[in-house]
A and B are shown apart, each in its own frame.
Chain A
Amino acid sequence: MSAVPGDIRGGGRRQGELQARLFSVFLLLSMGIGLVTLGTLVVQVFLDGVRLVDPVLLTDAPSADPAFAGAGPAILATIYMGLLLIAFTVPVGVGTAIYLEEYADRDRWYNRALEVNIQNLAAVPSIVYGILGLAFLVRGLGLGRVLLAGAMILTLLVLPTVIIAAREAIRAVPASIRQGAYALGATRWQVVWRQVLPAATPGIATGSILAVSRAIGETAPLLLVGALTYVAFNPTLLGDFTALPVQIYQWTSRSQAEFRELAAAAIIVLLAILLTLNAFAIWLRNRYGRRW
C-alpha cells in the first residue's frame, strides 16, 4: 500500500478496514489479558483464603498444625523491616540524588558512570542481591541470618529505585526557585536544604514509599539470607526471623490443602498492607504534590 492512501474511497479500503478491525481486537485483547489475569488472581486468592483471615492468622505463630498456624511473627517482621528500609534508604537515596542533581558536574566521566551504574543496579536480579548478602553479611561479617542482614540487603536492592524517584522529584523543582535563592546570596547547601528539598519532599516521599512497598514483597534475597526457619516468637533486630512473603512461600510449598488456604489468607494480608502503603503514597502525592 502506498504511503498516501489514495485509495481512501476505493476498494482497498475494505482490506484496510479488516486489518484495522483485527488490530483493534488485538489491542483490546492485550489490555484484556493483563486485567483479566489480575482479576482472576485476586478473586481466586480471595475465595481460597478469606475464610482464614482472622485474629489467629494475624497474631499466632506458625505451626505444623494448620488449625493453629498463624503468621504473627512474619507480619511483624515485615512491618519492622519496612520501617527499617525507610530509615536506611531515604537518607542515602536522597543524598545520592542531591549529589547527582545539584553538585555533580555532568561532564565528568565518573558522574556519568555513576548514573549508568545506578540504572544498572535497578535491573539486577533480586537473587543476586541475596548472594551478595550471603557472601558479605551472613558469612563475611558474621552477622548470621538475622533481621538486620535482611533489612540491609533489601536496602541495597531498593536504593537505586529510591534514587531515581528522588531525582525525578528534585528535577521537577523549577530552576527559578533555585536561581532566586542563589541571587539572594544563598550557598548551594542552603538552596538545597531550604528550597529544593522542601519543595521536592512530597515527590520523594511518594517515590520512597512506593519503592519500599515493592521491597517488602521481595522473597528471593530473604531466602538466601536465612528467613526460612521456624520462628514462633516476635522478631528482634539481631534475631532469627521470617517475613510475610517467605511465610507465604513456605505455606505454598506445603502439600496439604489447608496450607494452601493459609497461604491465600496470608497473601490477602500482604496485598492489604501493600494496598495501604500505595494508597498512602498516592494520597500524599495528591494532597501535597505541586504542579509547577
Chain B
Amino acid sequence: MKHRFGNRFVLVAAVVALTSLALAAASSARTDGGGVSGRITADGSSTVGPYVTAGAERFQRANRGAQVTVGISGTGGGFERFCKGETDMSNASRPIKQTEAAICRTNGVTYVPFLVANDGISIVVNKDNTWANCLTTAELKKIWDTGSKVDNWQDVRQGFPNVKLSLFGPGTDSGTFDFFTEVINGKSKRSRSDYAATENDDVAVRGVAGERGGLAYFGLSYYEENKNTLKLLGVDSGGGCTLPSIKTVQAYSYKPLSRPLFVYVKRDAFKRPVVQAFVRYMIQNERAIAKTAKFVSLTDRQLRKSKYQYNQAIRFAKR
C-alpha cells in the first residue's frame, strides 16, 4: 500500500498539466491556411459594435487565422482604451472629443477616423401604443431633460391617455446617450436619471415591448432587428414629422437625430497586414455588411471618402 495514493496524486497532477498544455498549444496554433492571420482588438460603442462584429464574422470566415475581438464598453470607454494604445480600433457613435484627442496626443497615438455607416436614433414605443405617432423635439426634451417629473403620457401632450410612462435608454458611457442628450437637451450627459439605463440595448427593447407605456431611444438597427415587437415614432423638429429610414437618414433630413458612425483606427495598426486587410474588407463589403447588420449604409460620397482615406493611410504606413 506504500505510496499508492501518493503516486495517484502525481499522476493526476501530470494529466491535468499535460491537458492544459495541450489545449494551450492547440488553440494558439490555429493559423491554418487561407488569408491573413493576426489579432485585431476593437472596442467602443454598443451601437457600432454589431456592425463591426458582422464585418468581423465574415472576415474571419474568409481568413481563418484572423482573430478579431469586439468589445462594447461604450464610446467613451472605447476611446479611453484606444488612447492608451490598448486597442487597434475604436468604435464610436460620435466624433472623438477634444479631451480624448488630447490624451491620444500625449500618448503618441495617431489615428484615422473612418465613416462606416449612418444611423438615426430612433424613438420607439410599445406596439399597443395607439395614441402617439410623432413627437416634437420640444416634447422629447420635456420627457428627458434633467429634473423632469413627467411620468405619465398625459403629461406629454394634451389628449394622450392616462398611461404610465416607462423609460428606457442607453447608459451614460454610451455615445448614443451623449449624442441624444446634446441635441435634444442641449448639453451632453444632461438628462433625467430615473430611467432604466443600460449599455445593453436589448434590455431596452424587451422593456418597451413589455410595457404599454414604454418609450426608449437607441440606434435604428435595434429597431430594425425587432420590428415586429416595437413601434417607431417620427420626430418633428419644426419641419414636419419625419420617420427614420435609409433615405431620410442618408439625406440627414431625419433631424436632429441622424448621425454618422465611426471606426477610429490606430495608424500604427495599419502597419500590420491583417488590419489593412480587415479595413479594406469592411470598405469593400460595406453595403453587404450594412444590410446584414441592418444599418443605414454610406452614401456614395461617403464611401468614396472612406476609400480615399484608406489609400492615404496605407501610403503613410508604408513609409
Q: Do chains A and B touch in the complex (CB under 8 A)?
A: yes
Tell me the A residues contacting B by CB distance below 8 Å: 61, 63-65, 76, 79-80, 83-84, 86-87, 144, 193-194, 197-199, 201-202, 205, 226, 228-237, 239-240, 253-256
Whole-angstrom distance between the alpha carbons of A193 and B5 in the complex? 10
Residues 31-54 of chain B, each 1 if its beta carbon lies under 8 Å from chain A, else 0: 000000001010100000110011
A228 and B71 in contact, given A80-B23, A255-B226 (Cβ under 8 angstroms): yes
Of residues 222 through 259 on chain B, the ones whose CB sits less than 8 Å from some CB of chain A are 225-226, 229
A234 cross-chain contacts in B, Cβ below 8 A: 26-27, 30
Whole-angstrom distance between the alpha carbons of A193 and B6 in the complex? 8
A87 and B5 in contact, given A233-B30, A256-B225 (Cβ under 8 angstroms): no
Closest to B6 in A: A198
Q: Confirm or deny: B293 has a beta carbon within 8 angstroms of a beta carbon on chain A.
A: yes
26 A-B interface contacts by CB (under 8 A): A61-B57, A64-B57, A64-B292, A76-B27, A79-B23, A83-B16, A83-B19, A87-B17, A197-B5, A201-B8, A228-B71, A229-B69, A229-B70, A229-B72, A230-B56, A230-B69, A230-B71, A233-B30, A234-B27, A236-B27, A239-B67, A240-B41, A254-B202, A255-B203, A255-B205, A255-B229
Residues 202-225 of chain B, each 1 if its beta carbon lies under 8 Å from chain A, else 0: 110110010000000000000001
Closest to B5 in A: A198
Q: Counting chain A CB atoms within 10 Å of each CB, which of B17, B39, B57 scores highest?
A: B57
Would you list the 6 A-B pairs with minimal beta carbon distance, nearest first? Answer: A198-B5, A255-B205, A234-B27, A229-B71, A255-B202, A230-B70
Residues 118-147 of chain B, each 1 if its beta carbon lies under 8 Å from chain A, else 0: 000000000000000000000000000000
A233–B9 contact, CB under 8 A?
Answer: no
B292 cross-chain contacts in A, Cβ below 8 A: 64-65
A84 and B27 in contact, given A64-B54, A240-B41 (Cβ under 8 angstroms): no
Q: Confirm or deny: B68 has a beta carbon within 8 angstroms of a beta carbon on chain A.
A: yes
B5–A199 contact, CB under 8 A?
Answer: yes
Q: Confirm or deny: B97 has a beta carbon within 8 angstroms of a beta carbon on chain A.
A: no
A87–B8 contact, CB under 8 A?
Answer: no
B56 cross-chain contacts in A, Cβ below 8 A: 230, 232
Whole-angstrom distance between the alpha carbons of A253 and B226 in the complex? 14
Q: Confirm or deny: B86 has a beta carbon within 8 angstroms of a beta carbon on chain A.
A: yes
Whole-angstrom distance between the alpha carbons of A240 and B53 in the complex? 15
Least CB distance from A91 to B in Å reads 8
Whole-angstrom distance between the alpha carbons of A239 and B24 in the complex? 11
Q: Confirm or deny: B3 has a beta carbon within 8 angstroms of a beta carbon on chain A.
A: yes
Q: Which of B8, B24, B53 is A230 in contact with, Cβ under 8 Å?
A: B53
Q: Confirm or deny: B309 has a beta carbon within 8 angstroms of a beta carbon on chain A.
A: no
Whole-angstrom distance between the alpha carbons of A254 and B198 in the complex? 12
Q: Confirm or deny: B152 has a beta carbon within 8 angstroms of a beta carbon on chain A.
A: no
Whole-angstrom distance between the alpha carbons of A65 and B58 in the complex? 12
Least CB distance from B269 to A in Å reads 16
A240–B69 contact, CB under 8 A?
Answer: yes
Q: Confirm or deny: B311 has a beta carbon within 8 angstroms of a beta carbon on chain A.
A: no
Whole-angstrom distance between the alpha carbons of A199 and B3 in the complex? 10
Whole-angstrom distance between the alpha carbons of A236 and B26 in the complex? 9
A253–B203 contact, CB under 8 A?
Answer: yes
A83–B200 contact, CB under 8 A?
Answer: no
Closest to B52 in A: A230
Least CB distance from A262 to B in Å reads 13
Residues 1-21 of chain B, each 1 if its beta carbon lies under 8 Å from chain A, else 0: 001111011001100110110
Q: Counting chain B CB atoms within 10 Å of each CB, which of A230, A231, A235 scores highest?
A: A230
A65 cross-chain contacts in B, Cβ below 8 A: 292
Contacts A87-B16, A256-B225 aside, 12 further interface pairs with beta carbons under 8 A come to A64-B54, A80-B20, A84-B20, A86-B16, A194-B3, A198-B4, A226-B71, A233-B27, A235-B27, A253-B200, A255-B203, A255-B205
B28 cross-chain contacts in A, Cβ below 8 A: 236
B188 cross-chain contacts in A, Cβ below 8 A: none
Q: Confirm or deny: B302 has a beta carbon within 8 angstroms of a beta carbon on chain A.
A: no
B276 cross-chain contacts in A, Cβ below 8 A: none
Q: Confirm or deny: B60 has a beta carbon within 8 angstroms of a beta carbon on chain A.
A: yes
Whole-angstrom distance between the alpha carbons of A235 and B39 in the complex? 13
A232–B225 contact, CB under 8 A?
Answer: no
Least CB distance from A87 to B in Å reads 5
Closest to A235 in B: B27
B9–A197 contact, CB under 8 A?
Answer: yes
A83–B69 contact, CB under 8 A?
Answer: no
A205 cross-chain contacts in B, Cβ below 8 A: 12
Residues 252-279 of chain B, each 1 if its beta carbon lies under 8 Å from chain A, else 0: 0000000000000000000000000000
Whole-angstrom distance between the alpha carbons of A235 and B20 in the complex? 12
Whole-angstrom distance between the alpha carbons of A255 and B50 in the complex? 14
Whole-angstrom distance between the alpha carbons of A205 and B27 in the complex? 28
B71 cross-chain contacts in A, Cβ below 8 A: 226, 228-230
Whole-angstrom distance between the alpha carbons of A74 and B34 in the complex? 24
Whole-angstrom distance between the alpha carbons of A247 and B153 in the complex? 37
A255 cross-chain contacts in B, Cβ below 8 A: 202-203, 205-206, 209, 226, 229
